[in-house]
């Protein structure tokens, strides 16, 4: 479920950053150049880096990448897309926060100013969660002496792959008791043929 929600969360964050951009908040450091939309001015004199716009674009690219992976014929273990989201968003946010205006940047040590920000720390924790989730899957697969189910063609999936049995691909279109779901006419027809 979270693998489905992860790309859409990036799309929501993209739209949210456009709201920040329109509301003139979360702006970046001062710059000498005026290239709209990458820089803008609140007072007509001082130009700031358009952090919300840049983050919106990064989030949109992340959405396209993760959504494409979700729809591809290559499938992965449960939690893979969520892990990639965590890594993408964590790294993206940590880098962009480095260019945030000091007056808008809450520091890890308290107060506002230049330095390592609280949101950068949080972003690194999010990225670390994504890396740890993938790493623990790989380690458990190696211990179980199974193949890694990371972007494997759907037609090649089998019990050789670690945690394949936990996916919908192992038991497609059946209810809790293993009977075909009526909305799947092919499976229902196959069951009727076997019964005759």
DSSP class per residue in 56-119: HHHHHHHHHHHHHHHHSSEE--TTHHHHHHHHHHHHHHHHHHTTB-GGG-BBTTSSBSSS-BHH
For the residues 132-136, what does the mean pLDDT come to? 95
Asked whether residue 183 is domain-assigned, the answer is no
Asked whether residue 35 is domain-assigned, the answer is yes
**Long-range contacts at 157-165 (CB < 8 A, ≥ 24 apart):** 157/75, 162/77, 162/137, 163/77, 163/78, 163/137
- For residue 174, the SS3 value is strand
C-alpha distances (whole Å) from 77 to each of 133, 153, 160, 162, 166 are: 11, 12, 13, 8, 9
pLDDT at 142 over 50: yes
Task: Judge if pTM exceeds 0.95.
Answer: no
Asked whether residue 102 is domain-assigned, the answer is yes
pLDDT digits (tens, 9 = 90+) for 66-121: 999 998 888 888 899 999 999 999 999 999 999 988 888 888 888 888 888 899 99
The total domain count for the chain is: 1
For residue 190, the model assigns a pLDDT of 58
Asked whether residue 191 is domain-assigned, the answer is no
Asked whether residue 195 is domain-assigned, the answer is no
Asked whether residue 186 is domain-assigned, the answer is no
Place 184 in a pLDDT band, splitting at 50, 70 and 90: very low
> In this prediction, what percent of the chain has a pLDDT beyond 70?
83
Place 172 in a pLDDT band, splitting at 50, 70 and 90: low
Asked whether residue 48 is domain-assigned, the answer is yes
For residue 174, the model assigns a pLDDT of 60
For the residues 122-130, what does the mean pLDDT come to? 97
> Which domain, by its residues, includes 38?
2-173
pLDDT at 131 over 80: yes
Asked whether residue 196 is domain-assigned, the answer is no
**Is residue 92 a contact partner of residue 127, using CB atoms and an 8 Å limit?**
no
Determine the Cα–Cα distance for residues 88 and 13; give it in Å rounded to an integer: 12
Q: Which pair of tokens denotes residue 104?
A: 């808008």
User: Minimum mean pLDDT among 10-14, 84-88, 173-177, 190-194: which range?
Assistant: 190-194
């Amino acid at each position: 479920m979270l693998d489905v929600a992860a790309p859409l969360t990036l799309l929501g964050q993209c739209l949210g950053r456009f709201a920040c951009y329109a509301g003139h908040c979360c702006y970046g450091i001062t710059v000498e150049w005026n290239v709209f939309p990458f820089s803008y001015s609140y007072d007509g004199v001082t130009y700031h880096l358009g952090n919300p716009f840049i983050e919106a674009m990064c989030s949109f690219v992340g959405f396209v990448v993760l959504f494409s992976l979700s729809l591809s014929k290559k499938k992965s273990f449960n939690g893979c897309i969520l892990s990639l989201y965590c890594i993408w968003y964590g790294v993206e946010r940590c880098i962009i926060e480095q260019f945030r205006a000091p007056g808008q940047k809450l520091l890890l040590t308290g107060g506002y100013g230049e330095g390592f920000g609280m949101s950068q720390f949080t972003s690194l924790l999010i990225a670390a969660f994504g890396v740890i989730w993938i790493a623990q899957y790989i380690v458990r697969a190696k211990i179980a002496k199974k193949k890694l189910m990371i972007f494997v063609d759907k037609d090649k999936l089998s019990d050789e792959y670690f945690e394949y049995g936990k996916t919908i691909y192992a038991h497609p279109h059946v209810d809790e008791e293993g009977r075909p779901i009526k909305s799947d006419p092919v499976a229902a027809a196959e069951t009727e043929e076997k019964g005759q």
